[in-house]
């Protein structure tokens, strides 16, 4: 619900708030603080959206103060947002015109929540001394963003010169994950002292200067800065120690790599933090930030001027190479994808009781990439079940593993014996077949010879019989005339 009030007063705004709350049905107030946003008219809508998102974690009343044209008569225009248009808060947008634009606190005070903390936020350019600003003076916490200024490093020095307890900056909030990862890396073995540090960051990134100042104060070592292209933010951090450096490198805007001696290389999600997330983090605490104060007041003064670029530092080995980190991140990403695609996820039952030494040993094996005895046994069981039959689950699988091994060996021996026997039988059969073929060939030759001899003898016998028959016929022919002649003579 949105309600516009033109040329109104703070009394009318308060009454309208109560009436709209009754109409919406929100009788109880669950607001924990009042967030006063001081912004220009051109950036007002963006600031309202950011504050609205942050209020979902910290329900509050948001009062947006916009200084309009200071010429003309005094006028106060207001807009009230409740319900879905205000998220988990209620938003009051105040536009001040004429001389009233110089008296913002007088308009804000009647709309503050009673007995609740006040936080002031300047999304754009803020006064050099926010603690002495009329609105900043009434707030317990004052949030600025030096990255929005034209000269961030100069404004950071002004913040240090005019610091008051309760001041903070979103450039410091953007370092939370970097500081957490570096602190966690130092908790890993080997536990050696840091001898030097190198921070690579853009010249327009106040966060890199604050990070270098924080490391200088925490580690008590010299910290060198390396310049990267404008707009790149923080690129890398190197912590030198005797056994080897710790390198936290973010070559892009999302993924970083962490490399250190004795530990596997890691691919870490380290995106740039958005303004709503940073603002929500700052609204979590209302006490002064001692770490920010130490880094701002004492750490920045101990830093040396920037004399090296990122490329020159990488060639000389003083800073990590972003290109090498980009290749490492790509390789680790491929390895993780391959493992996720091929690995079978198993969830063995957790032991009821675990000793501290066993937990430490298992953690060391896992970090070193070694398989645990349970994983080795599971892999062995899977191989055996693949060779024979599906293996039963649980304890039965462990008990039947030796029996399956014995039966597998016995079947392998039988298969080898059968193979040898079949080979011998095949050889014997081949020899017999060869001998039979040779005998058949020899018998065929003998039969052929016998047939030829028999046919020759038969032919000779036939010729002799024919000669005898011819001689007998001739003799008979000759005997007939002689018989006829003898018969005629006797008669």
Counting residues of the chain whose pLDDT is more than 90, the rounded percentage is: 48
Residue 409: pLDDT over 60? no
The pLDDT, as a whole number, for residue 263 is 87
Picking from 355, 345, 184, the residue whose alpha carbon sits closest to that of residue 263 is 184
Place of tokens 């979590």: 284
Region 47-75 average pLDDT:
91
H or E element in which residue 382 lies: helix 373-387
The pLDDT, as a whole number, for residue 21 is 80
Residue 135: pLDDT over 60? yes
The pLDDT-based confidence of 372 (bands split at 50, 70, 90) is confident
Picking from 323, 186, 335, 339, the residue whose alpha carbon sits closest to that of residue 263 is 186
Question: 3-12, 142-151, 326-335 — which is least confidently predicted?
Answer: 326-335
The pLDDT, as a whole number, for residue 28 is 52
Query: What is the 3-state composition of the chain as percent helix, strand, coil, each rounded to the nearest 5?
Result: 55, 15, 30
The pLDDT, as a whole number, for residue 416 is 59
Picking from 74, 127, 83, 77, the residue whose alpha carbon sits closest to that of residue 102 is 74
Q: What's the chain's Rg over C-alpha atoms?
A: 52
Question: 183-187, 259-263, 348-352 — which is least confidently predicted?
Answer: 348-352
Place of tokens 């001692």: 290
The pLDDT, as a whole number, for residue 479 is 53
Contacts of 309 (CB under 8 A, 6+ apart): 226, 227, 228
- Distance, in Å, from the CA atom of 309 to the CA atom of 317, rounded to the nearest integer, reads 12
Region 321-347 average pLDDT:
74
The pLDDT, as a whole number, for residue 174 is 96
CA 297, 299, 304, 306 torsion-angle sign:
negative
Region 348-373 average pLDDT:
74
Compute the half-sphere exposure of residue 86: CA atoms within 13 Å on the CB side of its CA: 27
**End-to-end CA separation in angstroms for the chain:** 179
Q: Is 123 helix (H, G, I), strand (E, B) or coil?
A: coil
The pLDDT, as a whole number, for residue 395 is 43
Question: 38-52, 301-315, 422-436 — which is least confidently predicted?
Answer: 422-436
375-383 long-range contacts (CB < 8 A, ≥24 apart) are 378/346, 378/348
The pLDDT-based confidence of 20 (bands split at 50, 70, 90) is confident
Picking from 202, 149, 171, the residue whose alpha carbon sits closest to that of residue 292 is 171
Angle between helices 206-219 and 152-161 (to 10 degrees): 50
Place of tokens 């962490």: 258
Q: Judge whether 200 and 211 are in contact, CB under 8 Å.
A: no
Residue 388: pLDDT over 70? yes
Residue 474: pLDDT over 50? yes
Region 118-122 average pLDDT:
97
Question: 119-123, 368-372, 376-380 — which is least confidently predicted?
Answer: 368-372
**pLDDT tens digits for 98-107?**
999 989 999 9
Residue 72: pLDDT over 50? yes
Mean pLDDT for the chain overall: 82
More confident position, 310 or 62: 62
Residue 123: pLDDT over 90? yes
Residue 400: pLDDT over 70? no
Region 160-167 average pLDDT:
96
The pLDDT, as a whole number, for residue 403 is 46
Counting residues of the chain whose pLDDT is more than 70, the rounded percentage is: 74
Compute the half-sphere exposure of residue 276: CA atoms within 13 Å on the CB side of its CA: 12
The pLDDT, as a whole number, for residue 340 is 63
The pLDDT, as a whole number, for residue 432 is 66
Region 171-188 average pLDDT:
94
- Distance, in Å, from the CA atom of 210 to the CA atom of 202, rounded to the nearest integer, reads 12
Question: 211-215, 249-253, 430-434 — which is least confidently predicted?
Answer: 430-434
Region 404-416 average pLDDT:
57
The pLDDT-based confidence of 209 (bands split at 50, 70, 90) is very high
More confident position, 437 or 185: 185
The pLDDT, as a whole number, for residue 233 is 92
Residue 387: pLDDT over 60? yes
The pLDDT, as a whole number, for residue 121 is 97
Region 117-138 average pLDDT:
94
Residue 142: pLDDT over 90? yes
- Distance, in Å, from the CA atom of 288 to the CA atom of 292, rounded to the nearest integer, reads 9
More confident position, 320 or 397: 320
**pLDDT tens digits for 277-287?**
999 999 998 99
Picking from 164, 70, 61, the residue whose alpha carbon sits closest to that of residue 113 is 61
Region 163-174 average pLDDT:
96
């Amino acid at each position: 619900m949105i309600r516009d009030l033109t040329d109104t007063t703070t009394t009318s705004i308060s009454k309208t708030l109560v009436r709209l709350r009754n109409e919406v049905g929100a009788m109880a107030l669950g607001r924990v603080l009042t967030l006063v946003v001081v912004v220009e008219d051109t950036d007002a809508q963006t600031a309202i959206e950011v504050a609205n998102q942050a209020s979902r974690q910290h329900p509050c009343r948001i009062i947006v103060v916009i200084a309009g044209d200071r010429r003309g008569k005094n006028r106060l225009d207001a807009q009230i947002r409740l319900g879905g248009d205000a998220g988990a808060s209620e938003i009051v947008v105040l536009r001040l015109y004429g001389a009233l634009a110089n008296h913002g606190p007088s308009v804000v005070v009647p709309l503050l929540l009673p007995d609740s903390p006040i936080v002031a936020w300047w999304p754009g350019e803020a006064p050099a001394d926010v603690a002495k600003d009329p609105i900043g003076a009434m707030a317990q916490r004052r949030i600025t963003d030096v990255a929005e200024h034209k000269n961030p490093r100069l404004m950071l020095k002004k913040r240090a010169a005019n610091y008051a307890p309760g001041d903070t900056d979103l450039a410091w909030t953007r370092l939370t994950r970097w500081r957490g990862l570096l602190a966690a890396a130092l908790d890993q073995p080997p536990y050696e002292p840091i001898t030097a540090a190198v921070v690579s960051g853009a010249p327009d990134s106040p966060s890199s200067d604050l990070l270098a100042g924080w490391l200088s104060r925490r580690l008590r070592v010299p910290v060198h800065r390396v310049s990267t292209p404008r707009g790149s933010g923080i690129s890398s951090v190197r912590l030198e120690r005797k056994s080897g450096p710790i390198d936290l490198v973010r070559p892009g805007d999302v993924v970083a790599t962490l490399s250190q001696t004795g530990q596997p290389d890691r691919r870490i999600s380290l995106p740039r933090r958005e303004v709503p997330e940073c603002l929500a983090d700052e609204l979590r605490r209302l006490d002064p930030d001692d770490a920010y104060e130490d880094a701002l007041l004492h750490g920045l003064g101990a830093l040396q001027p920037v004399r090296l670029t990122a490329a020159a530092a990488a060639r000389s080995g003083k800073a990590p190479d972003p290109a090498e980190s980009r290749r490492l991140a790509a390789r680790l990403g491929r390895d993780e994808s391959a493992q996720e695609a091929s690995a079978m996820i198993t969830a063995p039952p957790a032991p009821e009781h675990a000793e501290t030494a066993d937990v430490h040993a298992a953690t060391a094996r896992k970090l070193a990439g070694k398989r645990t005895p349970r994983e080795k046994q599971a892999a062995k069981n899977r191989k055996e079940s693949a060779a024979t039959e599906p293996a039963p689950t649980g304890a039965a699988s462990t008990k039947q593993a030796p029996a399956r091994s014995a039966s597998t060996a016995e079947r392998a021996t039988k298969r080898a014996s059968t193979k040898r026997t079949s080979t011998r039988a095949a050889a014997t059969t081949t020899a017999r077949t060869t001998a039979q073929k040779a005998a058949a060939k020899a018998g065929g030759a003998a039969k052929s010879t016998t047939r030829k001899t028999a046919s020759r003898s038969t032919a000779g016998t036939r010729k002799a019989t024919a000669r005898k028959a011819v001689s007998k016929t001739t003799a008979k022919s000759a005997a007939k005339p002689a018989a006829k002649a003898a018969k005629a003579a006797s008669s």
